């Protein structure tokens, strides 16, 4: 009879990381109408409202038809909000229900936990973005100018919001706290990032302030990938998102490593 031996793991617990990632993906796929279908419908409603309200008054923005200009911003906003919702809701629900221990007990390092939660949310963000883009293409002329810009800013933005969701979920002790983060951080930064307008149309003070908003760079770069037009410098956006993601990753790692509001 063969004796059982402890499982040998290398520097990274790939099985545990994959299990956590798969759990996060299956969690939102089990309610796909709510997590993927609903955001698509919401984006289409935003598109309809803005086109009906401003379509005749604003025909073009920076030489691009208003509908074509608006579509990438709506897709990006939807991706970002859903990536944030995935990690924040997963962690806060586990904390409130008391089953966060099921994630803390397995032999997963803090880095592996951050990666599992974050990449699960990135997957949701990308799936929502692809679905929204496909549906919008039936109503709006959606072209591709630079596929690498679309991929980089789409993935980087989803990662940034997923990391914000992890930090928010760990910090929060109840659903009201997550609502505070959503209502006073995520939503204002999204709406003040140039999603529905060009930053060039802002007053001088507004132009300065918008460039301190990392959400501006993710939407501007993503829009550039579709239209070839940007309000800022694309390479600046590449650097800003990379730096922000590194800082957020370190923050999330330290929060989980220390057990901040996770361990009694």
pLDDT for 2: 56
Q: Are 89 and 178 in contact (CB under 8 A)?
A: yes
| Residues with Cβ within 8 Å of residue 221, at least 6 apart in sequence | 149, 152, 153, 230, 234, 237, 238, 241
Give mean pLDDT, residues 204-215.
87
Q: CA–CA separation, 247 vs 117, rounded Å?
A: 17
Give mean pLDDT, residues 163-175.
94
Q: pLDDT, tens digit, for every residue of 5-50?
A: 566 666 788 999 999 999 999 999 999 999 999 999 999 999 988 8
* pTM beyond 0.85, yes or no: yes
Q: Are 91 and 169 in contact (CB under 8 A)?
A: yes
pLDDT for 198: 82
């Amino acid at each position: 009879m063969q004796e059982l031996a402890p499982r040998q793991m290398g520097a990274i617990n790939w099985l545990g990381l994959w299990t956590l990632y798969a759990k996060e993906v299956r969690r939102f796929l089990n309610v796909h109408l709510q997590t993927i279908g609903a955001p698509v419908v919401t984006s289409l409603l935003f598109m309809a409202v803005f086109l009906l309200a401003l379509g005749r008054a604003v025909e073009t923005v920076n030489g691009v038809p208003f509908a074509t200009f608006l579509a990438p911003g709506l897709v990006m906003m939807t991706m970002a909000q859903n990536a944030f919702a995935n990690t924040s809701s997963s962690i806060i629900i586990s904390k409130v229900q008391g089953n966060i221990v099921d994630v803390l007990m397995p032999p997963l390092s803090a880095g592996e936990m951050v990666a599992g939660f974050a990449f699960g949310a990135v997957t949701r963000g990308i799936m929502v973005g692809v679905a929204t883009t496909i549906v919008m293409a039936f109503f709006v002329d959606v072209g591709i100018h630079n596929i690498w810009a679309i991929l980089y800013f789409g993935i980087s933005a989803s990662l940034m919001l997923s990391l914000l969701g992890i930090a928010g979920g760990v910090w929060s002790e109840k659903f009201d706290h997550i609502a505070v983060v959503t209502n006073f951080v995520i939503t204002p930064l999204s709406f003040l990032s140039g999603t529905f307008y060009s930053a060039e149309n802002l007053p001088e003070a507004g132009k300065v302030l918008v460039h301190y908003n990392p959400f501006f760079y993710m939407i501007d770069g993503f829009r550039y990938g579709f239209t070839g037009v940007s309000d800022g410098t694309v390479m600046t956006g590449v650097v800003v998102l990379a730096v922000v993601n590194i800082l957020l990753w370190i923050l999330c790692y330290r929060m989980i490593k220390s057990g901040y509001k996770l361990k009694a």
